[in-house]
A and B are shown apart, each in its own frame.
Chain A
Amino acid sequence: MTELLQDIGLSHGLAVFIAKAVGVMVVGAFGLLWTLLGIWIERKAAGRFQDRLGPNRVGPFGLIQSIADTVKILLKEDLMPQGADRWVFNLAPIVSVVSVMLIWAVVPFSGSWIGSDLNIGVLYLVAVGAFGTVAVLMAGWSSNNKYALLSAFRSVAQLVSYEVPMVLALLVPVLLSGSMSTQTIVEQQHIMYLLAVPLTVLIFLTSGQAETGRGPFDLLEAESEIVSGFHIEYSGMKFGMFYVAEFLHAFTIGVLTAILFMGGWRGPFAEDVPLLGFIYLMIKSMVAYMVLIWVRMTLPRLRIDQLLDFNWKFLVPLSLVNLLVVAFVWKILPDTDQINSFGDALVPTLVLLVVNIALIAGVGAILRERGRRERQRVEARLTAAESAAAGD
């Protein structure tokens, strides 16, 4: 495309600029249009999980339900709370969506299709996530509603906490591939990292679920109990943008899982046919995303103390130990810095898998012991309460 623009007489700099701008628009439009279909898939799947049909009235199988919803949400009255901070209030939903869309810039759709192959790709992922946190605070503060503000603080506490295990999990594929570039990480996965470090994938998915604020970590915006949290004052399309950001973020966690742990666009003939690589990536992303929906629809909500306990007393120590163990094993294995084929990757993958299974077994034993003690404590308390009641 750059050559074409130069042929019609534009300077090199301008041609590159226009080509990049078009690329940004294509990726952005794809992400937002995908949301329409993705929300339908999610609602359909969620319906099945809860033994109902999901959307089925508008169009075949309810396919154009999302479009109908979009029209409805666009036509709704745009409310502005009294005393709201106008600028910040309007800016917050945009920042929220943008922070998610920015992630797509480093998603390698296939061998040659990537927005920008940054050599700091993974650090970039963490960096743009920071804007999402800022958007939550902006929305909470500017709404001029004390409940929105309280909820924003609690949301930010959750986001900042769960960022720690997430970053520690992101470090593992960086360590295994020796690069922070998302494209290099995909190319280095001659065997999916999912098979080498399953524990890291679990940590990543768990913290990713918490980062997107979805069940079982959705207690701060529980729509059935406290009518959503920091975006309680938003209506119409501004609320829609928060909704889109949340959905897209959750799906992006699926995409990132596919890229970092499931080999991204790799698959049979993907190197010759870029479109095939793109299809592989979307299939893998959907698989990872379905796991997230499955967890979301199956588990009950946590309490706030359970949420923070689970992070700081379980997930953070676990991901620290996991990172140290993987780094140690990777260091003592021979020739791990030059893995260029399936054969090279086989032995290290097997060793890491064995170590991971041992780790998971150890963690399982510790959890069982904890659960046993907790049950005993509750039982002792119950018997104490019963005998006190009998004594009255």
Chain B
Amino acid sequence: MDITVESIVFLIFGVLTLGSALLVVTTRNLFHGALYLMASLFGVAGLFVLLAAPFLAGVQIVVYIGAIAILIIFAIMLTPQVTAMRSVRTAQWPVAVAVAVIFFALLVSVVTPLMDELGVDDFAADFTQKSPPDVPADSLVRLGEQLVDLQQFMLPFEVASVLLMAALIGAVLLVWPEGTRSTPPGEAGDD
């Protein structure tokens, strides 16, 4: 396995992703945990770039760091104790460890035959090329077209949109002040 610049970058992002993920669950400070989570998600975005999927990398950052992680921080600030969290170790932890190990084994068992099928046997070389020959240059355009193609992913795309819309309306209804369901909150508080 040759050491290329790409494989070094791959290692950096891999360590960043896994190391921060580990710190998320071990740190005693919830706010630091959220920041480590951001670093971990950023590492995943870097891996997407190495896999010649810049669009997914951009979306990863916009959605996970720009929106979800910020929301998590807002939620953390509303909790009574942010720093010096006590270690909460319930009787369930052996079960949790077992489930995690089984899930990891499952992932490996799924991904390994897939790599054989694709003819990938050298990770650093085949996964981190700048533009691999089997990734079309216009993959972004094709992604867009398939999302609105009736034969392809039109239905899932629309269902997801409707679901998000329903969640939006639900969120607005949840925070609507009691007893003023007929008037908007701004005008109800006048005078």
When chains A and B are docked, how far (Å) is the Cα of A129 from the Cα of B74?
18
- Please, which residues of chain B bring their CB within 8 A of the CB of A16? 5
- Which interface residue of A137, A138, A149, A180 has the most chain B CB atoms within 10 A? A137
Contact A119 B54 (CB under 8 A): yes
Say which residue of A14, A85, A127, A149 sits within 8 Å of B62 (CB atoms).
Answer: A127
Tell me, rounded to whole Å, the shortest Cβ–Cβ distance linking B34 to chain A.
Answer: 9
Asked whether A113 is an interface residue with its Cβ less than 8 Å from the other chain, the reply is: no
Asked whether A141 is an interface residue with its Cβ less than 8 Å from the other chain, the reply is: yes
The residue on A at minimum CB distance from B69 is: A134
Asked whether B58 is an interface residue with its Cβ less than 8 Å from the other chain, the reply is: yes
- Please, which residues of chain B bring their CB within 8 A of the CB of A17? 5
A-contacting residues, B140-191, CB 8 Å: 140, 186, 191
The proximity string for B residues 50-77 relative to A, scoring 1 for CB distances below 8 Å and 0 otherwise, is 0000110111011001110110011001
Evaluate whether A153 and B74 lie within 8 angstroms (CB atoms) in the complex, with A17-B5, A133-B66 already known: yes
Say which residue of A14, A85, A119, A120 sits within 8 Å of B5 (CB atoms).
Answer: A14
Asked whether A286 is an interface residue with its Cβ less than 8 Å from the other chain, the reply is: no
- Please, which residues of chain B bring their CB within 8 A of the CB of A88? 31-32, 35
The proximity string for B residues 1-23 relative to A, scoring 1 for CB distances below 8 Å and 0 otherwise, is 00011100000000000000000
Contact A137 B70 (CB under 8 A): yes
Contact A129 B58 (CB under 8 A): no
Asked whether A130 is an interface residue with its Cβ less than 8 Å from the other chain, the reply is: yes
The residue on B at minimum CB distance from A313 is: B186
Asked whether B44 is an interface residue with its Cβ less than 8 Å from the other chain, the reply is: no
- Please, which residues of chain B bring their CB within 8 A of the CB of A85? 31-32
Tell me, rounded to whole Å, the shortest Cβ–Cβ distance linking A344 to chain B.
Answer: 21
Asked whether B38 is an interface residue with its Cβ less than 8 Å from the other chain, the reply is: yes
Evaluate whether A124 and B58 lie within 8 angstroms (CB atoms) in the complex, with A13-B5, A14-B5 already known: yes
The residue on B at minimum CB distance from A381 is: B191
SS of B interface (majority) = helix
User: How many residues on B have C-beta within 8 angstroms of the other chain's C-beta atoms?
Assistant: 25
When chains A and B are docked, how far (Å) is the Cα of A134 from the Cα of B42?
12
Contact B4 A134 (CB under 8 A): no
Say which residue of B58, B67, B73 sits within 8 Å of A123 (CB atoms).
Answer: B58
- Please, which residues of chain B bring their CB within 8 A of the CB of A133? 66, 70
- Please, which residues of chain B bring their CB within 8 A of the CB of A160? 67, 70
Size bracket, chain A contacts: 20 to 34
Asked whether A247 is an interface residue with its Cβ less than 8 Å from the other chain, the reply is: no
Contact B58 A134 (CB under 8 A): no
The residue on A at minimum CB distance from B74 is: A153
- Which interface residue of A16, A130, A160, A381 has the most chain B CB atoms within 10 A? A130
The residue on B at minimum CB distance from A17 is: B5
Asked whether A309 is an interface residue with its Cβ less than 8 Å from the other chain, the reply is: yes
- Please, which residues of chain A bring their CB within 8 A of the CB of B62? 123, 126-127, 130
When chains A and B are docked, how far (Å) is the Cα of A313 from the Cα of B33?
35
Contact B140 A120 (CB under 8 A): yes
Contact A153 B77 (CB under 8 A): yes
- Please, which residues of chain B bring their CB within 8 A of the CB of A381? 191
Say which residue of A120, A128, A149, A156 sits within 8 Å of B55 (CB atoms).
Answer: A120
The residue on A at minimum CB distance from B53 is: A120
The proximity string for A residues 205-222 relative to B, scoring 1 for CB distances below 8 Å and 0 otherwise, is 000000000000000000
When chains A and B are docked, how far (Å) is the Cα of A122 from the Cα of B73?
26
Contact B4 A13 (CB under 8 A): yes
Tell me, rounded to whole Å, the shortest Cβ–Cβ distance linking B7 to chain A.
Answer: 10
The proximity string for A residues 12-36 relative to B, scoring 1 for CB distances below 8 Å and 0 otherwise, is 0110110000000000000000000
When chains A and B are docked, how far (Å) is the Cα of A180 from the Cα of B58?
12
Contact A120 B69 (CB under 8 A): no
When chains A and B are docked, how far (Å) is the Cα of A88 from the Cα of B35?
9
Tell me, rounded to whole Å, the shortest Cβ–Cβ distance linking B165 to chain A.
Answer: 13
Contact B58 A127 (CB under 8 A): yes
B-contacting residues, A101-129, CB 8 Å: 118-120, 123-124, 126-129
The residue on A at minimum CB distance from B190 is: A377
Evaluate whether A130 and B66 lie within 8 angstroms (CB atoms) in the complex, with A123-B55, A153-B74 already known: yes
Tell me, rounded to whole Å, the shortest Cβ–Cβ distance linking A335 to chain B.
Answer: 19
The proximity string for A residues 158-178 relative to B, scoring 1 for CB distances below 8 Å and 0 otherwise, is 001001000000000000000
Say which residue of A13, A129, A309 sits within 8 Å of B66 (CB atoms).
Answer: A129
Evaluate whether A120 and B54 lie within 8 angstroms (CB atoms) in the complex, with A88-B35, A137-B73 already known: yes
When chains A and B are docked, how far (Å) is the Cα of A309 from the Cα of B54?
35
When chains A and B are docked, how far (Å) is the Cα of A123 from the Cα of B55?
8
17 A-B residue pairings within 8 Å (CB atoms):
A13-B5, A14-B5, A88-B32, A88-B35, A126-B62, A127-B62, A130-B61, A130-B66, A130-B70, A134-B65, A134-B69, A134-B70, A137-B73, A141-B73, A149-B77, A153-B77, A156-B74
B residues near A (Cβ < 8 Å) are 4-6, 31-32, 35, 38, 54-55, 57-59, 61-62, 65-67, 69-70, 73-74, 77, 140, 186, 191
Beyond A123-B55, A127-B61, 15 additional pairs, beta carbon < 8 A: A85-B32, A119-B140, A120-B54, A120-B57, A124-B58, A126-B58, A126-B66, A127-B66, A130-B66, A130-B67, A133-B66, A134-B70, A137-B73, A141-B73, A381-B191
